[in-house]
A and B are shown apart, each in its own frame.
Chain A
């Protein structure tokens, strides 16, 4: 926190700049702003972090909990945002069924250099996912992972570390195992591809999907074609799963009620004439996307200057799907269970 004199000075500077730009120094009127870019343009409005799913998780009390294999309740906002008004349309209702926290970092960020051998205990079909999730365990730890198409109960799956890139690619990688892309032969079917090493699986994660490892590029890069036929350049250290993801691709909803069960509320039914803006669009293939390039620095002078003292720009927390397996606590504290047991003492 800044001292009083610094506060005074900053306020003076802000007011002068505001006067020069003809702007206001008090928080702006907040209406009709439903997108993050719109919020970024508004001066003086500061959130602890970007208004995103993280806010909804904090409201539900599921933001900072240790990893658990138990069933967790869904974060339900009803489409409402931080102001109590609708932020996303057509979100309402749905069955009150739980979800499971799936670990998308397959090799568990284990830096010991040894492969991680895990046994598959159970293959589970969750209502909210089209693919199966597998309960696997090693030592004293258990976790959920996305199951491959040929995974069976009782199998042993191996997750190789990111440094494992031999000179000769692996000949017949077992489906369901996890390797870095550089260790696999060209042309192999892969899934659960990371865009950046250690960030978690992002591409080819849905049921029945798979990507292809097309070519090895110089400087430790690889060319991958995603299920939507998009070409991507990723690092050869990105972990992938061999084979196709289990489950089937998305089918058309059979009935109106089935959509409501998934929390999709109907539109108004007002028919709009299909013209230039409305209607189906033909998607053109975008050029190759280079994931190895550094993130573009979005340095907005206005958002930096017009923040209240003591709070600097956006704070970007670690994405929730990254579970640091090696730093998992060995134990799982069930707070409610401990409370019930305290009554015994």
Chain B
């Protein structure tokens, strides 16, 4: 408190008693003190209980947890059990490192998607399906029956409209008319639309085209890392579906085509670097390589090769404007590039498990690793076939990896009203050819009965 001298001076000037408390309160407001002095009143019992207070013991509502740990330790000292310590689990995370590392993130808008994906993964991207698949495409399209078309229609409508999910949807925004205020709506979020749609489609295809040595895996976590010019780039993605088979897929391109890629140059990104839009993370572990089938340890791993993966794009896209205002929609190029890098990560994890990490990093693979993926946001489908030939990413020379992308396939014309509710959207022009392409990818690695 202040000195006695100041008190006398204050009173001599005629400061009213109580004014000092007012000044102290104002100084507290000025400094925005968070602690407030609360007067806690003891709760009074109800009249019917007050009369019988002698009989009832009042509950101690204000227990102190200061010695909680000591009490717990004392009461459990004779037991062979230790209470788990949840305090500070975030900071004690064993994966947290001192230096940041790069992390692939497709949610960031890329500026030159295809060129960046090419340069980062040393891939030559061609905008068509491989010849092995396109040859069988016409036959598959003819073999589609009315039952297939109807099932496709029902699967789509169930995922987009009929499903009973009633979750609050993110607020929409119309960039052309910022003043219009959208109402809060409830329905099926875009990420769940993808899950429902693909689960319906894959279930129908499994019924129509059964196979013994294949099974579907849900909710896999893919973790791996690769080195680009001395920089480690990590890959941590969740996948809703993985189609696992016991045998590896046959390569899409033969050895002659692979050797011919040495002459083709990669696109240049001047003045950018391919690492420009990669996010940084402090939580990573370079030694882990998990294809989603279990640990990297072979004893716990479910044997198999990933034939087809589903990569969901649940962010705003061409058919909806869920997002914070003033953000660009994701286009076809971005989806194609993100699909390529997703397949690359998958192939890298597979190669590291098959051949060993030391035999694979920075070298050409003894045998190409082949994988495929379906990237979708519920309306648009992108089919990606990937062949990993080399992991020598320190230079742009030599053999390159190959990717075939068929992007921008629209299954249904979904029109969402610009200034109205989402449940009033219209669905027209179902295209069964998109399902035929999915069938082609599904049947590529199948062991026919």
Contacts and interface: CB of A to CB of B under 8 A. Distances in A.
Contacts of B324: 71, 98
Contacts of B9: 15, 18-19, 25
Nearest to B27: A27
A338 B6 CA distance: 54
Contacts of B281: 338, 341
A95 B182 CA distance: 13
Interface in A307-345: 330-334, 337-338, 341-342, 344-345
B26 interface: yes
A139 B325 contact: no
Interface in A47-74: 47, 71
B50 interface: no
Interface string A158-189: 00000000000000000000000000000000
Interface in B275-304: 275-277, 279-283
A266 interface: no
A83 B30 contact: yes
A140 interface: yes
A261 B273 CA distance: 41
B89 to A, nearest CB: 9
B123 to A, nearest CB: 20
A18 B2 CA distance: 15
A79 interface: no
A97 B273 CA distance: 32
A342 B90 contact: yes
Interface residues of B, number: 41
A24 B279 CA distance: 56
A139 B271 contact: yes
Contacts of A332: 279-280
Interface residues of A, number: 48
Given A18-B9, A25-B9, A332-B280, A11 B3 contact: yes
Interface string A127-148: 1000000000111111000000
A160 to B, nearest CB: 15
Contacts of B20: 26
A341 B236 contact: yes
Contacts of B13: 24
A102 to B, nearest CB: 13
B10 to A, nearest CB: 7
Contact of A119 (B93, B178, B272): B272
Contacts of B271: 117-119, 137-139, 156
A15 B276 contact: no
A289 to B, nearest CB: 35
B326 A344 contact: no
B5 interface: yes
A76 to B, nearest CB: 16
Given A127-B178, A331-B100, A140 B273 contact: yes
A330 B280 contact: yes
Contact of B111 (A30, A95, A137, A140): A137
Q: What are the 7 closest A-B residue pairs judged by CB atoms, nearest first?
A: A331-B280, A121-B111, A140-B276, A117-B271, A27-B23, A138-B271, A140-B273
11 contacts: A11-B6, A15-B9, A18-B9, A26-B10, A122-B111, A138-B272, A139-B273, A331-B280, A333-B280, A338-B281, A341-B236
Given A71-B325, A331-B100, A344-B238, 16 more contacts: A8-B3, A11-B3, A12-B3, A15-B5, A24-B10, A25-B6, A26-B15, A27-B26, A45-B30, A83-B30, A97-B325, A100-B326, A119-B272, A127-B178, A137-B111, A330-B280
Interface of A: 8, 11-12, 15, 18-19, 24-27, 30, 45, 47, 71, 82-84, 95, 97-98, 100, 117-119, 121-122, 124, 126-127, 137-142, 156, 261, 330-334, 337-338, 341-342, 344-345
